[in-house]
Structure 1
Amino acid sequence: MAPFAVFQTFLSILMFLRIYQSEALAKPLPLTPESLKVSANSTHQCLHLQWTVRNIPYHQELKMVFQIQISRIKTSNVIRVENYNTTVKWKQVLHWSWESDLPLECATHFVRMKSLVDDANFSELNFWSNWSSWKEVNVQESLEQDTLLMFPKDKLVEEGSNVTICYISRNTQNNISCRLEENQIHGEQLDPHVFAFNLNNVSFIRKHGTTIFCEGPPKQKKGIVLFVSKVLDEPKDFSCETRDFKILSCTWDPGMDTALGFSKQPSQSYTLFESFSGEKKLCTHKNRCDWQITQDSQEFYNFTLTAANYLRKRSVNILFDLTHRGETGVVAAHIGH
């Protein structure tokens, strides 16, 4: 870097520090997060945060840490503390998301944050700012006024997962009983109108979902369906062969079909990717896929077969040598490591 450019950078940093030097205090003022906005996505049980940091100088980037607190029901009941590390630019809008285990309709949530500069060029700013004010997120205010409500609705989870559900009763009498299929379940009271239930290690019962319902006087009854998917299997016995050196025929054992009813989750898809050519093909069958052999003297094919459903992906690899012949004239595939 030219001496003049180094001098300019030094002056820029020096001017920046002087801007934040308080006349009354010995240390500079912190860069505090502001314009904090919190929105709720009930379908995915997520809170989305958006904010800015005022007074970041033009053409400067600062490494910063934002400590985020999330409370439930009341501000003193902190359930999550997380540090978010990122680089902040002038006038940049920052984003962060959090997924709740409890449906957002079941309780009011509160969010606040503070920040510090974690940048060697601005060591004098390496201290925490004040907390922002609490932002309240109350999804219940937008709900219909039924006497009994249950959440989440039509949630998709994988077998073995832990799931939290709740009911909201507009009636002050809480003699409401709930069942998972035919088995009674017992919950925890969150407030006078809300009970939550923790379902651990949920099992697959049927493709059309697991029924959970609550009922109580006078003639209150509500139900939800929990869609539990079988765990996606890794493709087994993946192999390829060719008899005409024009088409590679790859086959595998797909394992359990993870399709669910009511179009909640289709059967898993399979994609074949060849790393040397960078080409990818979506397979039209669940247990086989044909690949066109190129005419450019490519001898090796490094395949990755990926199975995917809405909840996860599973991949296996093989390295295929086109020049290797077996006694039957079928080219064998070799499992890659």
Structure 2
Amino acid sequence: MHPAFSVLSEPLPLTPESLDVSINSAQRCLHLQWRVHSLAYHQELKMVFQIEISRINTSNVIWVDYYSTTVKWNQVLHWSWESELPLECATHFVRIRSRVDDARVPEPRFWSNWSSWKEVNEQNSLGHKASSVFPVDKLVEEGSNVTICYISRSHQNNVSCYLDGVRMHVEQLDPNVSAFHVNNVAFVRETGTNIFCEMDPKDDAGTVLFVSKVLEEPKDFSCETQDFKTLHCTWDPGSDTSLVRKQPYQSYTLFESFSGEKRLCEHKNWCDWQIAQDSQEMYNFTLVAENYLRKRSVNILFNLTHRD
């Protein structure tokens, strides 16, 4: 039997090690990476990893997930988690353990020991301010769910938070942090939706939530030529997703797959394309609409010799 496929006689102590957690505050993401140092050289095993995430303290587990993969010797493994709460709002803790899930390892297969808790603390983002609201000037799509938090250096008392003047139901996460949720957020105005929190004794902070209309797929995309020199392509762009100070008007790019060429369109609803002089008759166009939050695309196949 090939050594790579031999039956392993007993479970190995394959505890995840070198756990490292990096933070992407803008995306509210924790990125984990780790290794399994106990694997032998050139050994590969199917394994499952259990990941726990706690918030505020290690006993408050808010997320449990399982990640299955084939692990190689000295391989760096990656896993990411997106928080509904801005990471600046609370300290998070992460730990991980593993179990062999490979047919070559006989039952019973036991979980390894847990790694040590890894603390993730972004609350130093408060800086020298007495209080802050997070996320700061966040851009989201209409219809999204958003969680807002209010952080203060002093213990909070009688906190009130307002979304465009409407008082919200606030939940206190710890003595210095309160939060509230906004479901199915609506587009109000291009300059954003104002958020404001205050408490007694007087201490207040605010931010702006920028809500973009949802980028639509271009409609009625078509091309035509009058002189066999230029293709004039037009479409209906749908809603304007631009926001003052936050997001410009959506861009449009025309790709042609046979030639491999592309053109960034200068206008929101039409674009000209120079017809090739090499007798190309078929054009396979993809029109891509894009803003900061998403892309949409449509395709047409255009034949120069078959025009209506």
For the residues of structure 2 that align with 1:123 and 1:251, how far apart are their CA atoms?
64
Stretch deviating more after TM superposition (28-37 or 272-281): 272-281
| 1:64/1:118 contact within 8 Å kept | yes
Answering whether residue 300 of structure 2 is matched by residue 318 of structure 1, we say yes
SS in 1 for 2:26: coil
For the residues of structure 2 that align with 1:85 and 1:132, how far apart are their CA atoms?
17
| 1:251/1:287 contact within 8 Å kept | yes
5+ unaligned residues in a row in structure 1: which ranges?
Answer: 1-6, 22-26, 327-337
| 2:93/2:120 contact within 8 Å kept | yes
Structure 2 residue aligned with 1:159: 142
> Normalised by the size of structure 2, how large is the TM-score?
0.92
For the residues of structure 2 that align with 1:287 and 1:195, how far apart are their CA atoms?
45
Answering whether residue 267 of structure 2 is matched by residue 275 of structure 1, we say no
Q: Which amino acid aligns with 1:288?
A: W
Q: Trace 1:140-159 onto structure 2 (pairs within 5 A).
A: 140-141=123-124, 143-159=126-142
Answering whether residue 236 of structure 2 is matched by residue 246 of structure 1, we say no
Structure 2 residue aligned with 1:113: 96
Larger helix fraction of residues: 1
CA apart distance, 1:12: 4.8
CA apart distance, 1:164: 0.2
Structure 1 residue aligned with 2:53: 70
Q: What CA RMSD, in Å, does the superposition of the two structures yield over aligned residues?
A: 2.1
Alignment match of 2:167 (pick from 181, 184, 199): 184
Structure 2 residue aligned with 1:301: 283
For the residues of structure 1 that align with 2:236 and 2:109, how far apart are their CA atoms?
56
Change (3 A) 1:123 1:260: farther
Structure 1 residue aligned with 2:3: 11
SS in 2 for 1:105: helix
Per-residue deviation, residues 257-289 of structure 1 (Å, max 9, x unmatched): 211111x21111111122333333222221111
Structure 2 residue aligned with 1:225: 208
Structure 2 residue aligned with 1:335: none
CA apart distance, 1:109: 1.1
| 1:30/1:125 contact within 8 Å kept | no
Stretch deviating more after TM superposition (141-150 or 157-166): 141-150
Stretch deviating more after TM superposition (119-128 or 34-43): 119-128
Q: How many residues align?
A: 308
CA apart distance, 1:121: 4.6
Change (3 A) 1:62 1:207: same
Alignment match of 1:55 (pick from 13, 38, 41): 38
| 1:116/1:125 contact within 8 Å kept | no
For the residues of structure 2 that align with 1:325 and 1:200, how far apart are their CA atoms?
49
Change (3 A) 1:291 1:123: farther
CA apart distance, 1:13: 4.8
Per-residue deviation, residues 89-125 of structure 1 (Å, max 9, x unmatched): 2222222221111011111211111223334455569
Structure 2 residue aligned with 1:334: none
For the residues of structure 1 that align with 2:261 and 2:192, how far apart are their CA atoms?
38
> Normalised by the size of structure 1, how large is the TM-score?
0.84
Structure 2 residue aligned with 1:292: 274
Structure 1 residue aligned with 2:72: 89
